[in-house]
Structure 1
């Protein structure tokens, strides 16, 4: 039986959001060895988005929403990249070469796509189709990520970014709400934008289906422990409630 690296939490959730977390784990299966990297490198931000899954899980619980996550390191394959992207199977991460990904055959690339990329997006499509076929209005698609405070030697002052691709309404509304609240330094399309090729999931599943959608980037030093995650999830939940005009589902995340 083929291994599955796609995890679904709260599959039957009835809330008005579908959450995705493409970089939920730093797990590298034994078949890939260490990809030529140290354990510290794999566990760093180049291997996954620290805190992103915990944040997505809290939000999914709060809104009784399904959450689809990729539970394999982005170093093996990045589910938030187009199939023709040069970073689909990255040969370097934040300046660190990834020797195990250099010179891969077309067959090996196709194998990873079939084993990791296709199942993740097939499951996300399935969950969205099931919700849209049974609900009066389209759910929102929210993709949760985190980013490192320092990248390529540059200090990032942004604490939370709301990113958009072809559909910008939800991202702009969330960014406006966040800036008005003032708790965190909030920007639109920071620290990344569509020019960086990082909006594959929300464009493929959200914009294409006419769903409100947004990709959220939270600086990972704000997600270092349970209490920190709860604080950020509570803040984001209020923004979603206002931006999507929906009721408060929970007073606290579970």
Structure 2
């Protein structure tokens, strides 16, 4: 794909990937003995947390940066990316869930994301946000309750994004199955180095443990 026509500076800033999340997910997976599934393609190739065919699934522009290779993409090219990248990723998630359910294992679906501290010229005060909407949202609400205890975190309730019409993965896999879930958004400047990742690994682990103990009471 010839780097989509973008130079290294653009390819390594927040428009291309969720900074810090791979390392955080790997650390949490080890701590919790949890399955960790991540996409290795940039979301500029195709965003696997969007419905294929949605206007922002293969964005022609992201935070002011034009992606010429996306703007020039035809329907066949978009379908090829969806078939080669989006569909296998979602299939792996679904298969992992079904294996756990078939084995009678407790299953909670957690989506990890990070967000830029500033978007379209607007500062974002939240250090962490929890996204939730339909389905069994009790676990997500329990996580929000945990983070909200610390006012310094400015914990966002469906901030800086909301799980209504844009998200794909959790609605697709969790809603009909009635799985407990939470989508966690952490500000990228807090995951910029090993110390930050270690701190948020501790904090997120405790939030997950607390929410697990609390959510059935909600």
TM-score, structure 2 normalization: 0.93
- State the partner residue of 1:73: 42
- CA deviations on 1:70-112 (whole Å, 9 max, x unpaired) are 0011110110000131111111111111101013122111111
Q: How does 1:59-138 map to 2 (within 5 A)?
A: 59-137=28-106
Q: Of 3, 13, 17, which aligns to 1:48?
A: 17
Distance change (3 Å), C-alpha of 1:93 and 1:144: same
Q: Of 224, 229, 234, which aligns to 2:192?
A: 224
- State the partner residue of 1:215: 183
- State the partner residue of 1:141: 109
How far apart are 1:195 and its partner, in Å? 4.3
Task: Please state if 1:239 is matched with 2:204.
Answer: no
Deviates more, 1:116-125 or 1:52-61: 52-61
Q: What is the distance in 1 between the residues matched to 2:17 and 2:11?
A: 8
1:144 partner SS? strand
Paired positions, count: 213
How far apart are 1:182 and its partner, in Å? 4.1
Q: What is the distance in 1 between the residues matched to 2:180 and 2:110?
A: 9
Q: Contact 2:133/2:164 (CA < 8 Å) preserved in 1?
A: no
Q: Contact 1:147/1:220 (CA < 8 Å) preserved in 2?
A: yes
Q: What is the distance in 1 between the residues matched to 2:96 and 2:213?
A: 22
Task: Please state if 1:188 is matched with 2:157.
Answer: yes
2:185 partner SS? strand
Structure ranking higher in helix proportion: 2
Q: What are structure 2's unaligned runs of at least 5 residues? A: none
How far apart are 1:169 and its partner, in Å? 1.6
Q: Contact 1:165/1:202 (CA < 8 Å) preserved in 2?
A: no
Q: Contact 1:160/1:186 (CA < 8 Å) preserved in 2?
A: yes
Q: What is the distance in 2 between the residues matched to 1:57 and 1:196?
A: 28
Q: Of 132, 140, 165, which aligns to 1:164?
A: 132
How far apart are 1:196 and its partner, in Å? 5.8
Distance change (3 Å), C-alpha of 1:229 and 1:81: same
2:53 partner SS? coil
**After TM superposition, which residue ranges in structure 1, 4 or more long, deviate above 4 angstroms?**
none
- State the partner residue of 1:17: none
Q: Contact 1:162/1:190 (CA < 8 Å) preserved in 2?
A: yes
1:122 partner SS? helix
Q: What is the distance in 1 between the residues matched to 2:202 and 2:30?
A: 11
